[in-house]
Structure 1
Amino acid sequence: MASSREPEQPNDRHFHVVDVERRRGRGARSNSSGRFEKDVHEAFDDGWESLAELDAFKTEVFEDTAKSIISRNDSPDISFEASINPYRGCEHGCIYCYARPSHCYLGHSAGLDFETKLYAKSEAATLLEREFAKPGYRPSTIALGGNTDPYQPIERQRRITRSILEVMARTNHPVGIITKSALVARDIDILQPMAAKGLAKVAVSITTLDRHVARAMEPRAATPSRRLETVRQLSQAGIPVTVMVAPIIPGLTDHEIEPILEAAREAGARDAGYVLLRLPLEIKTLFREWLAEEFPGRASRVISLLQSMHGGRDYTAEFGMRQRGKGPYATQIALRFRLAKQRLGLGGERGAMRTDLFEAPGDRGKQLKLL
């Protein structure tokens, strides 16, 4: 049955956990309506076994009719100013994903809807070429995957990310990719010559080396071993690779900082970065539900440690603090990470990518400008 009631504040919500058979292979445990909806709809058992009549959650893909493709930000916490997200929503189903609340702007839930109701920007390459052709356009590194993964499973058929890279390769435009998918290796044929010109780099996210933890936490993402193999393939092709230990979950994965960096360096990574677990808006409830089911013995400690790094709260949105936290435990994590990087020689080759090679669409063969 479906209930309808006035929405509560995200901090106060207690969602109904969806039956395990309906959400098998997914990350979130519930699917409450988004925070902007007038009414909140949730499935619950009314005693007449009506839940058995509900279908399992299946992936649906809708067309995104965006009129522009490049997003810009001025956040001091983010290393890039421009980004492209070929998809909205993400089938990887990572329970900690900070992009989940953005699905509420589409009228969906940050829970299971985020993993199953996906939007594809099929015209992305055309829109990008149009942006590049504008007279006032000035190139700067564009990040692919700043919000959702550009190489999530539907990219195998849709190939939108690849079409974007083809435009960037033709115009010699710098690109940085953020992914936890092994599918990025498919595009080495494009990325390798771009990297040789100083136009491409890839960041691979590795949150844990424990296959079982990864399966529970990121149910449809590549296994840790496949991600490391992807790092190796990219590195051997001459493509600069950074490993992102993101997020670090205190009391659950923080003991793996050094082993992850060691494995990443052995695979050929040149740099590394990290972000602490963030629990804004609906994620605080979704993560607690997941933690209580998957790791009940660690749940209270994980939340306690996280709150100790956010002034007693689940999350602090302040720049400089939201991704790193503060306090003794946060300082300890930062120190361990820095020392491990120094010991392994990670981070010594960082440099800006080239923008001087950019050729706007239609400019090839034209006479060069004097000034």
Structure 2
Amino acid sequence: MGKGDTAKRTQRGATINATSRRFALPQAMADGDWLDMQGLVDGAPPPVKTSVTVENPRTILSRNSSPDVPFDRSINPYRGCEHGCIYCFARPTHAYHDLSPGLDFESRLFAKPNAAELLRAELAKPGYRVAPIALGTNTDPYQPIEGEWRITRAVLDVLAETNHPLAITTKSDRVVRDIDILAPMAAKGLATVCLSVTSLDPKVARTIEPRAPTPERRLAAVAKLAAAGIPTYVSIAPVIPAITDHEIEHLIARIAEAGARHAFFIPVRLPHEVAPLFRAWLDTHFPDRAGKVMAIIRSLRGGRDNDPDFFTRMKGQGPWAELLRVRFHRACRLHGLNLDRPQLDNTRFRPPKGPQGELF
């Protein structure tokens, strides 16, 4: 890693670390820590360090019944995400830990090392019914700490052993490390991968997603996954008006060139504490257009910072939303994307063997 890369890695996404207004949580810092964070002791504030706390949940499958989400179960090996994406809709979940959705979300992380063991026990239950498991729905399963903890890979081992279908969403090229597991699964119709690429501009990407791999590294990962025969999607999510929306056509051209066959987009969403974090980020990094960006977002969201309603929350509404859809679909047709949709196979599943399976 060069000096430039090191500099990039020290950056964070959120510009503030306010507590949650919805939970009225207490301040967690001691007085001395607070002074250090304000830069009143040594001058410039020190870098925010990443910490990882072990979490031992009783279950690992999260279930949802949302009518506009294409899966009903997911696994999140980690809480919080070091990528630091300013727009991340999962940020508010950190408030349940008495932590800030701001800097705490991207620096005070939780890992679930017993995830594979819990999954094995779940899949061994006689009443278990198969449907694709989604990884990466809340926080990224291939964020930097996966390099050491390897919890996602352990989960993949269980899914491969049982021929269980899965769909991965990530913005990290670290996923290519697991091609040895994913390619054989894909050959059986058991795996898809979606890479998120929001901008091709390195400066913009570094500001929006400060600790995620560069756009070029993600596109290179798309090419490697596609070459390995793994059905690969690219998510242009979120599209941020007046910051990244002008890149849609170029992004789709590069996506197709890399070998992906499918793409989708979602206009930026700002639920709960994400809205004030996003506004503070705009004021810091894009003060020249902060008002314009928020005005367009409100036009997309029915006059609000965020639209929580099913169906419209993923698509937006009004002229801006329609223009984005027209541009996106026209570019996809031009480059031959979204001509078909791979279906995951639920029929190959076999319950796990071994001590955990024999308990049921």
Normalising by structure 2, report the TM-score: 0.91
Tell me the equivalent position of 1:140.
131
Contact 2:296-2:320 at 8 Å conserved across structures: yes
Q: Which of 34, 37, 41 does residue 20 from structure 2 map onto? A: 34
Contact 2:165-2:344 at 8 Å conserved across structures: yes
Q: Percent identity?
A: 51
Q: Which structure's relative contact order is higher, taking Cα pairs within 8 Å and 6+ residues apart?
A: 2
Contact 2:231-2:342 at 8 Å conserved across structures: no
Separation (CA, whole Å) in 2 of partners of 1:142 and 1:191: 14
Q: Which of 290, 293, 298 does residue 299 from structure 1 map onto? A: 290
Q: CA deviation at 1:51?
A: 7.0
> More helix by proportion, 1 or 2?
2
Q: CA deviation at 1:34?
A: 2.6
> Superposition pairs for residues 1-371 of structure 1, below 5 Å?
24-35=10-21, 36-39=23-26, 43=34, 49-50=40-41, 52=43, 55-362=46-353
Q: CA deviation at 1:171?
A: 0.4
Q: 1:345 and 1:361, CA in 2 relative to 1: closer, same or farther beyond 3 A? A: same
Q: CA deviation at 1:314?
A: 0.6
Separation (CA, whole Å) in 2 of partners of 1:122 and 1:289: 35
Q: CA deviation at 1:38?
A: 4.3
Q: 1:225 and 1:39, CA in 2 relative to 1: closer, same or farther beyond 3 A? A: same
Q: Deviations over 1:19-76 (max 9, x none)?
A: xx9x951100111123313445785799993474965310000011110001111112
For the residue of structure 2 that corresponds to 1:227, the secondary structure is: helix
Separation (CA, whole Å) in 2 of partners of 1:243 and 1:319: 22
Separation (CA, whole Å) in 1 of partners of 2:19 and 2:118: 32
RMSD: 2.2
Separation (CA, whole Å) in 2 of partners of 1:48 and 1:160: 36
Separation (CA, whole Å) in 1 of partners of 2:295 and 2:193: 34
Contact 1:33-1:41 at 8 Å conserved across structures: no
Q: CA deviation at 1:138?
A: 1.0
For the residue of structure 1 that corresponds to 2:238, the secondary structure is: strand
Separation (CA, whole Å) in 1 of partners of 2:288 and 2:51: 35
For structure 1, the 5+ residue unaligned runs are 1-20, 364-371
Separation (CA, whole Å) in 2 of partners of 1:45 and 1:239: 48
For the residue of structure 2 that corresponds to 1:323, the secondary structure is: helix
Separation (CA, whole Å) in 2 of partners of 1:291 and 1:96: 11
For structure 2, the 5+ residue unaligned runs are 1-6, 355-360
Separation (CA, whole Å) in 1 of partners of 2:345 and 2:10: 45
Q: CA deviation at 1:351?
A: 2.9
| Corresponding letter in the other structure for 1:28 | A
For the residue of structure 1 that corresponds to 2:264, the secondary structure is: strand
Normalising by structure 1, report the TM-score: 0.88
Tell me the equivalent position of 1:5.
none
